[in-house]
Structure 1
Amino acid sequence: MCKDSRGIIKRIILKMLGRVWKETKNKLYHHCYDSELSLEENIENCPLGITADHWRWFLDYRNSEETKEKCKKNAENRSKQLYTHTGGLKSLARLGEEELERQGRRVSRGELYLLTHKRPNGSYIHDAARAIGERKK
């Protein structure tokens, strides 16, 4: 059995579970909730495997003003992100290890930057990334 003295594995697993849980809740709401129906009609259209009480609680939570405000604020904050990347959920360390296996050599931080800030067609994801990438060449 693997010893996880610093809790690294546990943190990674909990992070993955949290992400999947968030995505599942979002998909469930957008797939099953119809804004043109009343709350009671939506509760009657409860998805299989979910009790009416849990479904009611979930809809009350998602339709509360506090949650709507939080969703709006999060969307606004995401739109302000300047430094997005194409690395997905992989860490830079993991991407570096994959490149080591693929190329047979360690890649520099500059090369990792270029890998994570260019699209598959070779274009940069935004002008700021282009400016940085051209300085690194």
Structure 2
Amino acid sequence: MPKESKTDMWRAVLSKFEIATYEHPRVKKWVFGKISQFWKNWKCKSKKTHYDPFHTTRERLQYHPDRVDPVQWVLLIEFWGTRDGMERSKRNAENRAMQTMNHTAGTKSFARIREEDRARNPDGQAPDRMEMFRLTHTCWDGQLVDQASEDALDFG
């Protein structure tokens, strides 16, 4: 990403959020990591809803997302149709299929879950690693989310 774009994004973040330690490199790194994550997720959703359902370039161009500049949409369509784009998509799908252990935290951060559990705990202690695992891999009905999670807790 061009340095100018990063500078513009950082200014936008600072204009919307009060970040007391904005010069701290870890804060900036975290912010850009979140931006990267959101960008990746948004591209994935856009591809699922505006690229995959259609079979021709004409259809894909006609039903592009409103938030995407048409010129940039053409570039995305071209990339997703290349050998490199298709191989990357296939490799990512295969990697995702190999994932055996899921968590139940949803969009809630582990840090937030930890603090909420600390607040519920009478002695004010934060949960240890095993308790955090249990908290983030158990469904609302008390069942572990998958066999791999159950095996991991049995091992621990």
Residues 95-104 or 53-62, more deviating? 95-104
Q: CA deviation at 1:31?
A: 2.4
CA spacing shift, 1:98–1:64, aligned 2, 3 Å: same
Q: CA deviation at 1:98?
A: 2.3
Q: CA deviation at 1:70?
A: 0.9
Say whether residues 1:130 and 2:150 are aligned partners. Answer: yes
RMSD (Å), alpha carbons: 2.6
* Cα deviation code 1:88-108 (max 9, x no counterpart): 455544432221123342222
Paired position in structure 1 for 2:34: 16
Gap runs ≥5 in structure 2:
1-18
Give me the TM-score of the superposition, normalised by structure 2.
0.69
Instruction: Name the SS of the counterpart of 1:121 in structure 2.
Output: coil
* Same amino acid, percent of matched pairs: 25
Give me the TM-score of the superposition, normalised by structure 1.
0.77
Gap runs ≥5 in structure 1:
none
Q: How does 1:14-93 map to 2 (within 5 A)?
A: 14-33=32-51, 34-36=53-55, 38-48=56-66, 50-88=68-106, 92-93=110-111
Which residue identity does 2:130 align to in structure 1?
Answer: G
> In 2, distance between residues paired with 1:88 and 1:66?
31
